[in-house]
Structure 1
C-alpha cells in the first residue's frame, strides 16, 4: 500500500490541483492520502476532506511529514509538497514499478518549476547531477519504504530550517539503497520566484548549499525562506 503524505498550510489554491492530479492517476494498488494541516485559516481542510483525504494536525514541513508517517498504513511512503501542480500520466505506477525493480529503499525523481525556460534549465542541471552521481538528495519529494523511514531516528529532523528533505535522504540511504528515478518530471509552482524574486531565491539556494557543505544541516535562521503555504521563517 502507498501512503501519500502532504504537509499543508493555507493551500486552498494549490492543494486541489495536486489532489485532482493524484486522483487521475491510473494506479491500481491500494493508496491513501494524508494531509497534515498546520493550522490553515482558509479552505485547505475542507478541500482535503472533499477529496477523501485523512486529515491530521501537523506543522511545516518536517513535523507534518513525521505526523503523517505515524498514522500511515502503507509500507511505502511518498512525501509531496502541496504546490506540485502537475503529475505525468501513470506517474505513480511508473514510479513504484521502478522503485521495486531497482530494489530501492529511498528515492527521489525529477521535479521542475512551472515557470520560465531558464528555471527549467537550472533545475535540469541539478536533476541530471543527482541522476548521474546518485548522491542521496531529495528534489522536493521523497519516496521511502516505511521500514527505512522508521530506522531514521525521528524521521525528518524538525530542527532543520531548510533542506531537511535532503538531510533525510542522506540519512535514509544508510539503511537502504538510494536511487534517482529518471521518469517524466513533476511540475511544481513558481510561487517562490514570484514572491521573493528569481535572483534572491537562487541566492538563498546557493547560500544554503554552501552553509551545509561547511557546517552541516541548517539549524538556525540564516535567512527567511518561504515554506509550503507561504509562511516565513528559516524554512
Structure 2
C-alpha cells in the first residue's frame, strides 16, 4: 500500500531573514513521503530569496512567479503539488519534526478522508525563543468542530488538508490579502470538518512585519466576519448555542476581544433585532378567581416585549368568564382554551402544547407580571442559550409586600433538597415539551417542583436575581398552609426516590427527607 504523500508549501516574499529556518524544518520531517514546494512570490530583495531557495537544489521543488500575494503563491503550490495532502508553512514559521508524521497517523486513524486537522502551536520571537504555547479548547472543538473557524482557532501552518478540499470548493481567493485562509475554511467547513489535535506541532513567529498587524487587515477582517455572521443559518445558530441571540452574543464577544469593533457592534445590534422578533407564549391556568385573572391578563398585555401570545386555560371554571373574554379580546394574539377540571398541571400542559412561541412563561391567575418581566428574562435566556430560568419575586399578602430573593439560589443539584422556584417566575424553551418534559398530572401539589427538578437535571437552571413577578398570597397558599407543604414535599420526595437521575444525588435527597420530617414534626407540635 502506497504511503500517504504530503506536500508542504512554503510561500515566500522577501524571506531572506527567516526562510532557511522554515525550509530546514520542512526537510527535517520524520514522515518520509514528503515534498517541499517553495514558491517565490516575486521577491524584490536583490535576488536573496531566490539564491537561498536555489541553494537547496533538488531537495525542494522551487517555483518563481510574479508577485501576487500569499493566496496566489499558495495556489501555485497547490497546482504543482503531487501529494494527497496539503500543508502550509509560512516562511517565518517552523514545523516541528514530528508534525507531518503525527498528523498522518491521526488522520488515518479517524477513517475520515474529509477531515481537516488543526493543532495547538508555539509562539516564538524574532530570534526563535519561545514566548508561550497556545493551547486551544479541545473540549469545545470536539463538541463543536465548526468553532475552530468561528472562534479563530485555525493557525494556517498547523493545517493538514486533503487535496480533495480544493477540488470541491476551489483554491485560495487572491483578492483577500490577509483573510484568504479563513475565507477558504468558511467555504469548506460544512463538508470538510475540522478535527483538533491537542498537540503543539508548529512554531509561529511573532514579529512586527506580519500582515495581520496592519490597518488594512482590520478592514478586510471586519468584512469577512460580517459575511460569516450572514452566512450561518438560523438553524445552525440554534444548534450550536441554543438560540440565534446566544450565537450572536458569543460572536460579539469574540469579535470584540479581537478588536474588530465594528463587526462586534453589528453582532450586538442584531441580538436586539432577533430578540424583539421572538414570540413568547404566556400560559395562565384558570379555576375561578376570575376578577384576579383579569388583572393577571392585563399585566401580560402591559409587557414591554411586544410579541406575546396569551393562552388562558379554563380548568372547568364555575364563574362567569365574560370578563376574561373581554380582557383577551383586547390583545391581538390571545386564546381561551377550555377543559374539564383536571388540575393546574393538566391545564399548564394543555396550554404549553398549544403554544406557538419559542419560549413559554407560566403565570397563575392570581399573580402579576411586572412590565419588563418577559423582556428581561428573554434577553437573559436567549443571550445565554438557556432552556429554563426563573427569577426572584415580590410576595403580596394582607397588604404587605416582601421580597423573595430566590433568583440567585436554586442551583442544581442543591434544589433537590429545597426548591424555592416560584412557578409564575419561570420561563422555559417551548421545545422542552417535545423532549418529553411536562407537569405530572397525577399530582396536585408540588407538581411544578417535580418538573423543575427534572428539567434542571437535564438542562441546568438560570437564576435571575431581579424580582419581576408579584405573587399574591393568602392564608390558603402553600407557603402558609402546613398541610399543603407536607403534601407537596412528600410528593416531591416520592418522585425523587423513583428517579435514578435525581436519587443519585444522595446528599441532597437526605436534605429533602429531613425537610419532610421537620414539617411533619412541626405539624404534630401544633
> Which range, TM-score by smaller chain?
0.7 to 0.9
- The structure-2 alpha-carbon separation of the partners of 1:213 and 1:92, relative to structure 1 and needing over 3 Å to count, comes to closer
CA 1:117 to 1:208, structure 2 compared with 1: closer, same or farther past 3 Å? farther
Shift in alpha-carbon separation, 1:33–1:118, aligned structure 2, 3 A: closer
Hey, what does 2:430 align to over in structure 1? 146
Write the distance in 2 (CA, Å) between the matches of 1:2 and 1:88: 15
Question: Any idea what SS the aligned residue of 1:51 has?
Answer: helix
Name the SS of the counterpart of 1:156 in structure 2: coil
The structure 1 segments of at least 4 consecutive aligned residues displaced by more than 4 Å after TM superposition are: 116-119, 131-134, 195-198
Alignment length, in residue pairs? 209
1:56 to 314, 337, 345: 337
8 Å Cα contact 1:7/1:65 also seen in 2: yes
The RMSD of aligned alpha carbons is: 3.1
Query: Which residue, out of 9, 12, 15, partners 2:287?
Result: 9
TM-fit CA distance, 1:132: 9.8
Correspondences of 1:53-132 after superposition (within 5 Å): 53-58=334-339, 59-85=342-368, 87-115=369-397, 120=402, 123-124=404-405, 129-130=409-410
Q: Secondary structure at the match of 1:16?
A: helix
CA distance in 2, matches of 1:213, 1:65: 18
TM-score, normalised relative to structure 2: 0.36
1:47, CA displacement in angstroms?
2.4
SS in 1 for 2:422: coil
Kept after mapping to 2: 8 A contact 1:113/1:190: yes
1:21 aligned to 2:304?
A: no
For residues 113-192 of structure 1, the aligned pairs below 5 Å read 113-115=395-397, 120=402, 123-124=404-405, 129-130=409-410, 135=415, 137=419, 138-141=421-424, 142-153=426-437, 155-191=438-474
Instruction: Give the counterpart of 2:494 among 211, 215, 218.
Output: 215
1:41-99 deviation per Cα after TM superposition (whole angstroms, max 9, x unaligned): 223x32232123301123320000111112111121111111113x3231211111111
**CA–CA distance in 1 between the matches of 2:462 and 2:402?**
22
- Unpaired runs of 5+ residues, structure 1, are 219-235
Deviation of 1:130 (Å): 2.3
Alignment partner of 1:168: what SS?
A: helix
Residues 40 and 117 of structure 1: CA distance in aligned 2, closer, same or farther (over 3 Å): closer
Structure 2 residue ranges without an equivalent (≥5): 1-278, 329-333, 498-526
Once the two structures are overlaid, the 10-residue window that deviates more, 102-111 or 133-142, is: 133-142
Contact 2:446 2:489 survives alignment (8 Å): no
Deviations 1:95-138 (A, max 9, x none): 111111222111121233202699836x44x5554269874753
- Structure-2 separation of matches of 1:197 and 1:140: 12
User: Which whole-Å CA distance do the structure 1 matches of 2:410 and 2:398 have between them?
Assistant: 22
SS in 2 for 1:152: coil
Distance 1:165 1:197 in 2: 12
Preserved CA contact (<8 Å) 2:394 2:467: no
Which one has more relative contact order, counting CA pairs under 8 Å at least 6 apart?
Answer: 1
Q: Is the CA contact (8 Å cut-off) linking 1:148 and 1:176 kept in structure 2?
A: no
- Between stretches 59-68 and 207-216, larger displacement belongs to 207-216
